[in-house]
Amino acid sequence: MFRKIWQKTMIAMALSDRVKAFAQNSRATSFLSGKYVSGDSPEAGIKRAQDLLEDTGIRSSLFYMGEYVDDWNLVALNIENKLEIADQLGRSGLDVHVSIDPTQIGHHLDPTIVAGHAENIAKAVQLAAGDSGEINCLMLDMEDASLNDPTIALHNHLQNMGLPVALTLQAYLKRTHGDILEQIERGSRVRLVKGAFAAGADIAYTKRSDVKQNSRKIIADMFSAEARKNRFYPIIATHDTALQDFTIETARANGWNAGEYEFEMLLGVREDVAIALAATGERVRVYVPFGRDWWPHAARRIGENPANALLLARSLIS
Ligand SMILES: Cc1cc2nc3c(=O)[nH]c(=O)nc-3n(C[C@H](O)[C@H](O)[C@H](O)COP(=O)(O)OP(=O)(O)OC[C@H]3O[C@@H](n4cnc5c(N)ncnc54)[C@H](O)[C@@H]3O)c2cc1C
């Protein structure tokens, strides 16, 4: 119960402009940006990605922060940073793996222009990656439930154009099992997450145990013989070690080897687990955010674990 209230409170705080202005301008909360964010600039993101790869063998997906944008200047700034990071990743010899939210590139201002913006970023990823392989892509993050259909349509459009694209789907939603089956049919690359948003019981599983159960059901399909035949690429993004173990068991039972799928985790969350997993030979990627607009991302991370209430309290009173 407390977990749910805590998560809803932090989601509301993530979306509040007033809280954001306070948090991003206060020295007290700067500790939180240091924990979950690599720094202000593309260079800071690249540096963190290089260090992670050299020190631990962990790969990165770079994310320029700034979500739910309703200002054209900010949309332009977001796109500029996505293009810049793709270029810098290519020149650094790192995976060209860039994450975007559709609302960052103008969905709330004019949904009809989003496809054009996404095409430009996906083309930049393709160009920067050269012929260095299928591991490079533009990853579409999934936002609240109102964005499900537009984001899936955007993914399918870019994929139909032959551009390197991947899609995030959320196990808390009842529709997701069906969406996954469609993406398996298309031979896509899909990142499965539990979901960082809340929704009603008409469309979502509201009990954690049900979300977990649905995750297992979906993972079983993501590693099916059908998925393998269609060259589907599973990405399991979770800090839940039981779900990671279930993934590895399912993969092995169905003939998938380490490196034919990947795990993803978030910067600043259970880093010991990510390092241990990579040390076993699994392909592990960490989502590395950068930029000044860090509060919405950090607030969601804080909301994911009630124990983080202490972290927030400590940063406010120190
Ligand atoms: C790479 C990546 C990309 C993501 N992209 C999206 C997206 O596009 N859309 C979306 O809705 N969600 C996204 N998420 C967030 C996701 O939906 C979950 O909210 C988040 O990952 C927590 O769920 P979990 O599977 O880790 O399991 P949980 O059951 O929440 O946690 C498993 C264990 O990890 C610990 N843990 C989890 N999170 C934290 C934390 N922040 N701090 C401390 N401990 C923690 C828990 O306490 C628990 O012990 C993404 C997550 C990852 C890893």
pLDDT for residue 305 = 84
Distance (angstroms) between ligand 1 centre and the Cα of 72 equals: 30
> What residues are in contact with ligand 1 under a 6 Å CB criterion?
141-142, 168, 170, 193-197, 237-240, 264-266, 269-270, 287, 301, 304-305, 308
What token pair was written down for 175?
Answer: 């529709």
Position 106 in a domain: yes
The average confidence (pLDDT) of the chain is 93
Share of the chain above pLDDT 90, in %: 74
Name the DSSP class of 94: S
The ligand 1 atom nearest the CA atom of 195: 17
Nearest CA to ligand 1 atom 30: 304
pLDDT for residue 31 = 78
Question: What is the Cα–Cα distance from 131 to 122, expressed in whole angstroms?
Answer: 15
Position 33 in a domain: no
Residue carrying the six token digits 């960082």: 196
pLDDT for residue 177 = 98
Question: DSSP H helical segments within the chain, as ranges?
Answer: 2-15, 17-25, 30-36, 42-56, 72-92, 114-129, 148-160, 176-186, 208-222, 225-229, 241-253, 271-279, 295-303, 308-317
Nearest CA to ligand 1 atom 29: 240
What token pair was written down for 126?
Answer: 């393709």
Distance (angstroms) between ligand 1 centre and the Cα of 132 equals: 30
Candidate of 6, 148, 194, 244 to mutate for ligand 1, largest count of ligand atoms within 8 Å of Cβ? 194
Q: What is the pTM of this model?
A: 0.93
Position 126 in a domain: yes
Candidate of 239, 262, 270, 272 to mutate for ligand 1, largest count of ligand atoms within 8 Å of Cβ? 239
pLDDT for residue 317 = 66
Distance (angstroms) between ligand 1 centre and the Cα of 304 equals: 6
Position 306 in a domain: no
Position 20 in a domain: no
Q: Which residues of the chain have pLDDT under 70?
A: 316-318
pLDDT for residue 34 = 83
Distance (angstroms) between ligand 1 centre and the Cα of 308 equals: 13
Long-range contacts of 236-239 (CB under 8 A, 24+ apart): 236/191, 236/192, 236/261, 236/262, 236/263, 236/264, 237/168, 237/191, 237/192, 237/193, 237/263, 237/264, 237/265, 237/287, 238/192, 238/193, 238/194, 238/263, 238/265, 239/265, 239/266, 239/269, 239/270, 239/273
pLDDT for residue 33 = 83
What CATH code is carried by the domain that includes residue 106? 3.20.20.220
Task: Render pLDDT for 79-101 as a digit per residue (tens, 0 to 9).
Answer: 999 999 999 999 999 999 999 99
Distance (angstroms) between ligand 1 centre and the Cα of 74 equals: 27
Position 24 in a domain: no
To which H or E segment does residue 290 belong?
A: strand 284-290
How many independent structural domains does the chain possess?
1
Position 311 in a domain: no
The ligand 1 atom nearest the CA atom of 286: 1
Name the DSSP class of 150: H
Candidate of 137, 241, 283, 304 to mutate for ligand 1, largest count of ligand atoms within 8 Å of Cβ? 304
Task: Render pLDDT for 43-76 as a digit per residue (tens, 0 to 9).
Answer: 999 999 999 999 999 999 999 987 778 889 999 9
Distance (angstroms) between ligand 1 centre and the Cα of 192 equals: 11
Distance (angstroms) between ligand 1 centre and the Cα of 263 equals: 12
Range of the domain at 74: 38-293
Position 314 in a domain: no
